Amino acid sequence: MAGQDLYRDDPDVESMLAFQKGDDQAFETLFRKYSRPLVNFSYRLIGNRGRAEEIAQEVFLEVHRAKSTYLPQAKFSTWIYRISTHRCWNELRRPERRLMAMQHRDPTGDEGDRAAVEPVAAGPDALQHLEAKQLQDAVADAVSSLPEQQRTALILCRYHAMGYREAAEAMETTESAVKSLMHRATVGLRDRLKSFL
């Protein structure tokens, strides 16, 4: 297959093909490599930690079920982020979600991590922690308030180190569309984060 040859040098494609041949360990390798990035991808996109973990689980289930039909036609990362993107977009379009669309990040959903930057005692360190937390919240709110397409492109490119072309493949759009989304997203963030620049 031409497609298989094209992505032969992607080690993750290698792992997926090994899994296809019955190597279950190869699936676990992929799982361990991508589980945390995918949870973070969904979390940043939909803002709810519990749902983000469920979506990551659904994505891996889909990868597992693709065992017999998998045919490499893209880098493995592009493929798995494409699946994740679709699932997140579906999640965002669920009617009950629209009601709370502006309440992006579930405040109870990331308590554990927020607690980690909470000041434990008064003092210069505590102040620094508080400032870091405020800045983190401001950035998270600013990203969360971007329109869905801009947010997706931005998260793929800025938090998952994708180039415009790979992001375009994951979003099933064109490179020039991603370029435009990235411009608008950055302008939007600059305006929202002006006081921190």
Partner 1 sequence: MNGHEISEELVAFLDGALSVEDARRVEKHLERCPSCREILEDFRRTGQLLNRWTEIAPSPGFEPRVLTHIRASETRRPVSIGFGNLNRWFFGSPIRWSAVAAGIVLMAGAAYWIFPLSRNEDVLTEAEKDEMATHIDLYVDYGVISHLDTLKPMDATPPPQGDESSIINTA
Contact window for partner 1 (CB under 8 A) among 75-83, 90-98, 109-117, 118-126: 109-117
| Contact pattern for partner 1 over residues 113 through 152, marking x by CB under 8 A | x------------------x--xx--xx--x---------
66 forms part of the interface with partner 1 (CB under 8 A): no
169-186 burial, b for 16+ CB within 10 Å, e for fewer? bbbebeeeebeebbebbe
Contact window for partner 1 (CB under 8 A) among 8-16, 69-77, 88-96, 177-185: 177-185
From the CB of residue 126, how many other CB atoms can be counted at a distance below 10 Å?
A: 13
Distance CA 61, CA 55 (A): 10
Output the smallest distance, CB 5 to partner 1, in A: 27
Name which of residues 3 to 22 contact partner 1 (CB under 8 A).
Answer: none
Output the smallest distance, CB 130 to partner 1, in A: 13
Distance CA 173, CA 166 (A): 10
Two tokens at 171?
């979003």
Decide: helix, strand or coil at residue 174: coil
Q: Of 162, 1, 188, give the one whose Cα is nearest residue 78.
A: 162
Among residues 1, 5, 32, 99, which is the contact residue for partner 1, using CB under 8 A? 32
Instruction: Say if CB 47 and CB 105 are below 8 A apart.
Output: yes
Applying CB under 8 A, the residues found at the interface with partner 1 are: 28, 31-32, 35-36, 39-40, 43-44, 49, 53, 56-57, 60-61, 64-65, 110, 112-113, 132, 135-136, 139-140, 143, 154, 157-159, 163-164, 175, 179, 182-183, 186, 189-190, 193, 196-197
